[in-house]
Amino acid sequence: MNLNNATITELHKLLTDKAISATELTQHFLSRIAENDSEINSFITITPEVAIEEAKAADLVLAKGQHTMLTGIPMAHKDIFCIEDIRTTAGSKMLANFIAPYTSTCIEKLRHAGTVTLGKTNMDEFAMGSSNESSYFGPVHNPWDKTKVPGGSSGGSAASLAACLCVASTGTDTGGSIRQPASMCGLTGLKPTYGRISRWGMIAFASSLDQAGCFTRTAEDAAILLEHMAGHDSKDSTSLNLAVPEFTAALSEPLAGLKVGICSDYFKEGLEPEVENLVMDGIKELAKMGAEVVEIELPHTKFSLSAYYVIAPAECSANLSRYDGVRYGYRCKDPENLEDLYKRSRSEGFGSEVKKRIMVGAFALSAGYYDAYYRKAQQLRRLIKNDFVSAFEQVDVIVGPTAPGTAFPLGAKTNDPVSMYLQDIYTIAASLAGVPAISIPVGLSKGMPVGLQLIGNYLEEAKLLRVAHQFQQQTNWHQQQPQSNLL
Ligand code: GLN
């Protein structure tokens, strides 16, 4: 078996059959990173010593037969998750030298389950972006075509998996940052229900939207990971206090009788025709598998981008006020006084996209404008949420495109913020409502991957994963590989 693109399930079998050790598997991926990442730039920090130590521990656990499905599985983590004693930068100069003093709950749980930490992946600065070009550590290149972006903000996590530099990776999704890069890199990308996975130790961008999730090769692997990442955490007040379902248990139930909603607003101008055709073919495939396709309306979805670009900057302006040059993070040289320290540390430490958002957010929250912008945006958010509540009275899942096009050339949209923001036109509504969604590969357009988005009702990740898994049993789009992997 080719280890490069093997799934968690396949590698688990090799590990428990003793066909390979966790240490050998880890060495394999560390060498792949060393050989291939200079052209992709998907890692900010590689942690070989930590990885080998964890792999050796995993081998002992495997020898004793006390393993989980994840024991010895090498993973890459978005550099937004704090891991004790490892540099955690959030893709920013502000935190370029920040060594985290504790480990985020989500990563702690994955490590507890026996995963191996290969390193921390590149990302848009503080997760603001859709192309992974706003990182202080340089842009990430899409393994499918290195002149193109991988999507963002979790572009490093997506690219590292697409280039077979890890077996699975973590990401965060505030408005689309797992689903859109998954779509552009030909991967399965899951954003669970808001609150399903603890945000503790995950560097905050917009706290009412931020949600951890994962990139995998298959929906089955995503189900395995979610079982270990999810769960209540008293350290995060928005973490859901609910038992974690066995997401893998229902995967094989057939789709007969399932109602799939399509919304005509998702197929209007702005969607590349080839992407539309592939998404339509994907929907036909679901129908062939027994699902009933039903037209639904989401009348307020068209306001989601506008609402998001008030709410997310507002929350970011509050969250990022902690970077003041005093406590931790970047500090300017030779400040003249306290004000100069604040001003220069923040001006020099943050990049332009982050500064723009802090200014927009502070403006939207200011006394004179709060009602005109922030309150209105929150009202729209409620209407967008209500649309989903009524839609899910009629259907089980909503299906449509993940992104309006395939990966675009590096630099193509850096001076066109509106076109960049439109990348998330199909993903943001689910983030505002807090419902779960997944992107799965649905074909190639001019050699580049296209994603199909499935949105589910609150807490119905199991249903989403089941539809995605069944789809992957009938199609092989998720097994397509970038040419460069085969060289
Ligand atoms: N592209 C969106 C933004 O820049 C979403 C980012 C995200 O989900 N982290 O805000």
pLDDT in tens, 218-255: 999 999 999 999 999 999 999 999 999 999 998 999 99
Q: Is the CB of 23 under 6 A from ligand 1?
A: no
CA distance 194 to 430: 10
Q: How far is CA 182 from the centre of its chain?
A: 8
> Could you confirm whether 109 is annotated as catalytic?
no
Assigned fold of 8-258+393-486:
Amidase signature (AS) enzymes (3.90.1300)
CA distance 406 to 436: 22
42, 92, 130, 153: the catalytic one is 153
- Average pLDDT of the residues in 463-482: 97
* Burial of residue 1 (number of CB atoms within 10 Å: 0-12, 13-18, 19+): exposed
Which of 174, 304, 418 to probe ligand 1 with, by most ligand atoms within 8 A of CB?
174
Which of 80, 123, 130 to probe ligand 1 with, by most ligand atoms within 8 A of CB?
130
Residue nearest to atom 5 of ligand 1 (CA): 175
Strand 116-121 and strand 168-173: pairing? unpaired
Q: Is the CB of 157 under 6 A from ligand 1?
A: no
Q: Is the CB of 143 under 6 A from ligand 1?
A: no
Measure 210 CA to ligand 1 centroid, in angstroms. Answer: 9
CA distance 181 to 235: 29
Q: Is the CB of 177 under 6 A from ligand 1?
A: yes
42, 78, 131, 183: the catalytic one is 78
177, 183, 198, 431: the catalytic one is 177
Q: How far is CA 154 from the centre of its chain?
A: 5
Measure 1 CA to ligand 1 centroid, in angstroms. Answer: 37
- Residue 182's contacts (CB-CB under 8 Å, 6 or more residues apart) are 151, 158, 188, 189, 215, 402, 439, 440, 451
Measure 175 CA to ligand 1 centroid, in angstroms. Answer: 5
Quick one: which atom of ligand 1 is closest to the CA of 174?
8
> Could you confirm whether 153 is annotated as catalytic?
yes
pLDDT in tens, 130-153: 999 999 999 999 999 999 999 999
pLDDT classification of 56: cutoffs 50, 70, 90: very high
**Paired tokens of 333:** 């040289």
- Kindly tell me if the per-residue pLDDT of 269 is higher than 80: yes
Quick one: which atom of ligand 1 is closest to the CA of 353?
4
| Residue 201 exposure: Cα atoms within 13 Å on the Cβ side | 24
pLDDT in tens, 60-115: 999 999 999 999 999 999 999 999 999 999 999 999 999 999 999 999 999 999 99
Domain-wise residue ranges, the chain: 8-258+393-486, 302-375
Tell me how far apart the terminal alpha carbons of the chain are, to the nearest angstrom: 17
- Average pLDDT of the residues in 315-320: 98
Looking at residue 487, its pLDDT comes to 67
Say if residues 205 and 127 touch (Cβ distance below 8 Å): yes
Measure 236 CA to ligand 1 centroid, in angstroms. Answer: 21
Which of 123, 125, 128 to probe ligand 1 with, by most ligand atoms within 8 A of CB?
128
Q: Is the CB of 175 under 6 A from ligand 1?
A: yes
Q: What percent of the chain has pLDDT over 90?
A: 97
Q: Is the CB of 180 under 6 A from ligand 1?
A: no
The helix or strand, by DSSP H or E, that contains position 262, with its residue range, turns out to be strand 259-263
The per-type count for the chain, helices as H runs and strands as E runs, is 16, 11
Looking at residue 442, its pLDDT comes to 98
Average confidence score pLDDT of the chain: 97
Quickly tell me which residue has 């209007």 as its tokens: 268
pLDDT in tens, 356-383: 999 999 999 998 899 999 999 999 999 9
pLDDT classification of 486: cutoffs 50, 70, 90: confident
Measure 169 CA to ligand 1 centroid, in angstroms. Answer: 18
Burial state string for 43-79 with b = 16 or more CB within 10 A and e = fewer than 16: bbbbbeebbbebbebbbeebeeeebbbbbbbbbbbbb
Say if residues 164 and 485 touch (Cβ distance below 8 Å): yes
pLDDT in tens, 176-233: 999 999 999 999 999 999 999 999 999 999 999 999 999 999 999 999 999 999 999 9
Which of 308, 360, 424 to probe ligand 1 with, by most ligand atoms within 8 A of CB?
424
